[in-house]
Structure 1
Amino acid sequence: MKAPVVKDWVKKAEKLLAAESFGPAWIALVAEWRLHEEQTGFATSTKSHSAKAQPAQVGAWVQQARTGTPEIKDVDTFARQVRVWWQDINPAWRKLSLPMAKKTGPWTFMDVLGQNGFLNVLICLKWWRERIDKESEEWKDMLEDVSWVLRQMNR
């Protein structure tokens, strides 16, 4: 079977997410995200994850055609907002306990394709990491959880 044509938004996103200094777990997460998009033929959608708990910086970034980096005055507040949003966009069956359950179930609720999907989650993780001196446990935990979810969805 012929490989799908990589869309321009994917190429741009890969450049935005490039951060080898974040280590192998970050590189693996970006690869898992790309695999997920590739498996769907780099489909696009007007659907997006819920913005109810989404950090305001994501909306500002999208409004600016996904260019630049929005201002983040307080990294701890931003990190908390990212974690709350991540919990909000996960399926209800995962949110029964904290940390969220690592079990299989239907992922359709959060399987948002294209640039309105997981790209927004990954860019939040990148902005968060860029503003801390070293990996925090909270950042590593969230990176691992996002990676785990994408691995489950890629099965």
Structure 2
Amino acid sequence: PKAVGDWVSRARVFTPEIEPEVFGRQFWEWWVDINPDWRTSQRPMIREDGKSWASLDFHGQNGFLNVMACLKWWRDALETPSPDWEEAVDDVTWVL
């Protein structure tokens, strides 16, 4: 999501203001895109062991922190956890 680029460009010292519904859609588009092709482009995403995870092998200063930051920002913008957010947390947790 655009918020990740904004956060990185500002030396990770601010929390972006987001619209939870819009950000949720952006997160899911991005999460599906960075996951391996075998996990599919639909939800719920496929969960299998023994496959390649190369597309999620992030290097550099942020690495997987970007994913975790997105989940935090999204949750902070919600009054209560949404089913989409809970599904995202569940899927990211499974991947980890």
Q: Secondary structure at the match of 1:70?
A: coil
Amino acid at match of 1:101: I
For the pair 1:95 / 2:40, whether they are aligned, the reply is yes
Find the partner of 2:25 among 80, 85, 88. 80
Give the drift of 1:116: 2.8
Return the structure number with greater relative CO, CA threshold 8 A, min gap 6.
1
Amino acid at match of 1:123: A
For the pair 1:108 / 2:54, whether they are aligned, the reply is yes
* Corresponding pairs, count: 95
For the pair 1:57 / 2:25, whether they are aligned, the reply is no
Identity between Structure 1 and Structure 2 (%): 49
Per the alignment, do residues 59 and 97 of structure 1 end up closer, same or farther by CA in structure 2, a change over 3 Å counting? closer
Gaps of 5+ in 1: 1-54, 151-155
The structure that has the greater radius of gyration is 1
CA distance, structure 2, for counterparts of residue 89 and residue 76 of structure 1: 20
Q: Normalised by the size of structure 1, how large is the TM-score?
A: 0.58
Gaps of 5+ in 2: none
